[in-house]
A and B are shown apart, each in its own frame.
Chain A
Amino acid sequence: NAGVTQTPKFQVLKTGQSMTLQCAQDMNHNSMYWYRQDPGMGLRLIYYSASEGTTDKGEVPNGYNVSRLNKREFSLRLESAAPSQTSVYFCASSSIRGHGYTFGSGTRLTVV
């Protein structure tokens, strides 16, 4: 099925460990995004990539890095995980035609 594939679905990390969340879309969308979702705070933008080869910071970029590997793939890396990064992470993609986002299924990350 066409859409956004996000892996893994669940992850538990110890404080200080690193990991990369993977995201791929097959809809030929130009733009891709990483959000985190925390209770009572909605979704907050971490980083985005408006097009292949470009990345920019969103509202809450500290502690994260991203790579737009090609048009399809956009990964999020936590270099040294902290308990404050416990959250649900969503990858999304969009065209520029105003049709909204297509989301991945999310990753529940717990940092202990």
Chain B
Amino acid sequence: AQTVTQSQPEMSVQEAETVTLSCTYDTSENNYYLFWYKQPPSRQMILVIRQEAYKQQNATENRFSVNFQKAAKSFSLKISDSQLGDTAMYFCAFMKPPTGNQFYFGTGTSLTVIP
């Protein structure tokens, strides 16, 4: 079975600074997808960024980028120019295709952006 580990239960960052959230995973698969989801206090789960394992280029979405190290099975999320609205729980997730039920979540990192 696949496992996803987020070793930082809580983190904080000053507004406008950069923060990196860590995620490691364990799999014997070669083809898979990785995701970061954001859950603000509203409780809604929001997809932040997605990475396909067969793509070497790291995914970016505006202020959010990942550092995907396939050999090390590491998938960290970097948030640049942190904003108050980034305060949320962040979940790393692994998906094995083709069916979406092979979807595994980490236990989350609670990020607080300090004004």
Whether A associates with B in a native complex is: yes
B100 close to A96 (CB less than 8 A):
yes
CB-defined contacts of B101 to chain A, threshold 8 Å: 31, 33, 45, 48, 50, 56, 58
- A58, A103, A108: most-surrounded residue (chain B CB, <10 A): A103
B45 close to A90 (CB less than 8 A):
yes
| Count class of interface residues, chain A | 20 to 34
- What 0/1 pattern do residues 90 to 104 of B give for CB contact below 8 A with A? 010101011111010
| Count class of interface residues, chain B | 20 to 34
Question: Residue on A with the closest CB to B39?
Answer: A37
B33 close to A100 (CB less than 8 A):
yes
A-B interface contact total, Cβ < 8 Å: 62
- Residue in B9, B33, B91 whose CB lies within 8 Å of A98: B33
Task: Write the nearest CB–CB distance from B3 to chain A, whole angstroms.
Answer: 11
Task: Write the nearest CB–CB distance from B72 to chain A, whole angstroms.
Answer: 22
CB-defined contacts of A50 to chain B, threshold 8 Å: 99-101
Q: In the assembly, what is the distance between CA of A56 and CA of B100, in Å?
A: 13
9 A-B residue pairs with CB within 8 Å: A31-B100, A40-B9, A42-B107, A48-B100, A50-B99, A95-B100, A98-B97, A100-B95, A101-B103
Which residues of B are interface residues toward A (Cβ below 8 A)? Answer: 9, 33, 35, 37, 42-45, 47, 50, 52, 91, 93, 95, 97-101, 103, 105-108
